[in-house]
Amino acid sequence: MLRDWTNFFEITGAAGAQLIGLMFVVVTLGSGWSAKQSEQAIRAFVTPTLVNFSGMLLEALVVLAPWPSNRPAAFLLGLGGLAGLTYRIRAIRLKGEADIVELRGLNWIAYNGVPLLANVCLICGGVGLYFERAFAPFAIAGASTLQLAAGIFGAWDVTLWILSNRKA
């Protein structure tokens, strides 16, 4: 069922891995923060962005593994979606408690809404894959695409924030 999607997941997995590496470079740029400011920023914004990219990489690894059937992949993807959903709810709370910036409107959607939707898509894709439904690969690919979009937005926003708050 997922064989036709090999190229897509090879690309998203590679993108996730490369973007994780670039986030380490971005965080290095912000090494002049105060300890309190640094911890809040990392927990509220950097870590969720890394979770987006890591999710893409994990989904690609699960989908591309040579499983004897779709069921192990379905179980892992559904479990990953549930774990991601739980994490996202916690991350929303952390962002609300951070006194760095208040998210409103489109920023709230990009940081919170899109990743929540990605995890719901992943859960649906895992369940659909388990029951061999035709929509499953599309839902899983949709989850990866949404995580990519949210991760790029988060990485760009974090980079701009670091550059504007850097000590000269």
User: For residue 45, what are the domain limits?
Assistant: 3-165
pLDDT band of 126, cuts 50, 70, 90: very high
Q: Which residue has the higher pLDDT, 137 or 36?
A: 137
Report which of 50, 119, 57 is spatially closest to residue 83, judged by C-alpha positions: 119
User: b vs e for 30-61, b when ≥16 Cβ sit within 10 Å of the residue's Cβ?
Assistant: beebeeeeeebbbbbbbbbbbbbbbbbbbbbe
How far apart (Å, rounded) are the C-alpha atoms in residues 47 and 90?
12
Is residue 127 classed exposed, middle or buried when 0-12, 13-18 and 19+ CB atoms within 10 A define those classes? middle
How far apart (Å, rounded) are the C-alpha atoms in residues 41 and 30?
10
| pLDDT of residue 127 exceeding 80 | yes
pLDDT band of 101, cuts 50, 70, 90: low
- The per-residue pLDDT for 69 is 95
Domain count, the chain: 1
pLDDT band of 85, cuts 50, 70, 90: very high
- The per-residue pLDDT for 77 is 98
| pLDDT of residue 43 exceeding 80 | no
User: Whole-prediction pTM value?
Assistant: 0.90
- Are 109 and 92 contacting, i.e. CB atoms less than 8 angstroms apart? no
